[in-house]
Amino acid sequence: MAVGQMCLIRPGERLREGMTCPRCHAAEMTYDGMLNLVCPNCGLTEAGACT
């Protein structure tokens, strides 16, 4: 059965500007034009966290 997309960010784990990306560990989180934190390397965003 379909499970849907996996959570990429554990509950309670908050992204912060300048922190190392918790997914790819290859870049630092930065704000995009919509004030969402995004990883410029792998595209991880805080908006993609499970709600």
Q: Which is nearer to Zn ion, 26 or 50 (CB)?
A: 26
- 15 in Cβ contact with 35 (< 8 Å): no
Task: Give me the residue label for tokens 């792998």.
Answer: 42
9 to 38, contacts with Zn ion by CB under 5 A?
21, 23-24
Q: How far is CA 22 from CA 1, 3, 8, 50, in A?
A: 28, 22, 9, 15
Q: Which is nearer to Zn ion, 7 or 24 (CB)?
A: 24
Rounded to the nearest whole angstrom, what is the least distance from the CB of residue 17 to Zn ion in the complex? 14
Which residues contact Zn ion (rule: CB under 5 A)?
A: 21, 23-24, 39, 41-42, 44
